[in-house]
Structure 1
Amino acid sequence: MRNSLMLFILCLVVPSAMAQTGIGTKIPDGNSVLDVSSNTKGMLIPRLSGAEVTTLANKNPSEGMVIYNTEENCIQIYKGTTFECLTVNSEADRSRDAWADDSANDQIKLETKSDGSSVRDDNTDFVIEDDGKVGIGTGFPNADAQLDISATDKGVLIPRIELTSTTAASPLRAHVAGMMVYNTATVGDISPGFYYNNGTVWLKVADMSQTDNTKDAWMDDRANERVELGVQSDGSTARAAGSEVVVTDLGEVGIGSNSPTSKLQVAGLPVFVDNAAAIAEGLTAGAFYHSGDGIVRVVF
């Protein structure tokens, strides 16, 4: 009886003193609290359905709790906010983080809302494909677009800055071809509106309801019912008087004149007494001149 009592007391004292438990082994590993040993059997941890996992997570379990999710088919560990899978198969990302792998569509995507569990609504997609294409509002960005933004009730706000002139890059550090901004300033040759950069100057995107304000070669002049060469070859310097080229809506062409009154009106032709004099001054065959008598002649 005395020996039995001593054995019982020893069984109570040893586990508490050593803080180790061995199952299937008489000598638990010195670095483990629980050492389960077997050559023929495994260990079953608690198996919970998806709903049961959610219920457990709502009870604020201790970080590090481990369960097996029977719907996700993976071992999950609680990481402070959600249970996350420890295993990832080759087909899909099993974790419940915001980003999910989608190898079938060669992309990664935002799978849930900010609560970490609610599935994202239609048209709120955010995906990045393996070749770098980005889709916002669409799960499948256009094959020819690096960035595909899709929406039916929203627009896109591009950077709004204050340009200083069409020729100055400021407030940007340098001219960059293809750069686009919305200018809010009114200064010099700059007015509010969309501008793009051609690598040398800022060009305003035309508003078809007004005079063409772009700095391309041809400009629309609705007020005078004509189109005209607005600038010189540098794309910014205004054309001098006498170098105008215009075409009216009636098909009248003016060269050196911005108000032609016939199908072709040429102002500023050189004056020479005859063909020889014109050639002597450098005109070549086909050039026009007149002799002061109102008759236009052609060098031959």
Structure 2
Amino acid sequence: MQLLETKELTKKFKNYVAVDHLNLTINKGQLVALLGHNGAGKSTTISMLIGLIQPTSGNIEFEGLKVNESKYRRKLGVVFQNSVLDNNLTVKQNIDIRANMYKNLDSSFKNKILNDLELSSILNQRYKTLSGGQRRRVDIARSLLNKPEILFLDEPSTGLDIQSRNKIWEFLNNLRKSIGLTIILTTHYLEEAEDADFVYVIDKGKLVEGDTVDNLKNKYAKDTLTLYSDHLKNIKDNLNQKIVEETENSISINPEDNNEAINILSKFKPLITTFEYQRGSMDDIFIALTGKEVK
């Protein structure tokens, strides 16, 4: 079910086009990743979608609502790249200030969020004394108090250790399942986009490609099978696949799928000493589409 849509969304700053006629469709319950290098237009797009800045042209619609309507904004939760919480207030004070902005707040849902994010034990600590992972969990809790339909995450994991990132994503994925939360994500960690339902790649403000992860991998990210052997000539003489890389004791090919890789391994088992099988990744997709790595 379609939840949010942009049509020809454009943002210009004087002569600079930050977002260029962007068309996005976000379906309910999806995790949608917006990928692009620094300056690609991701954060500007997010800022327009949440009503922080106005588009130069184009439209944004969310269940028939316009971005400047208060009912639209009440359906959103936002975790900004840089926290907006007060460093000198405690976690509880920061949470309560936000909670008091909403009428008929679901207190049981609020308490569940705090418990699931393991914040109950640090409610009386000042925000500035928290670790990076703790701060980010507080940011996320604050953004979810109104039980939004869409949660915007703008580079939520930057600078966090792997344990903190995993804990945050475990919580968010559970929430997606329990309440059907839709998440729009921008990230520098391309592995976070592996679990996305849909990925949009943006470059210089333009939409380069939009598709599922599986479809993008099929188009742009080849799996690589590397065979190590003391009998490479014998293997090459009987190999039907194109060799993409060769060293003194190895050859690499791009099998069509897992089955072909298994068949090749079975065929040459007596001749190979070992092998490596590397799946195509989001990094491969990104480089294929933009010509550069994420930095």
TM-score normalised over the length of structure 1: 0.25
Larger-Rg structure: 1
TM-score normalised over the length of structure 2: 0.25
Structure with bigger helix share is 2
Relative contact order, higher structure (CA 8 A, sep 6+): 2
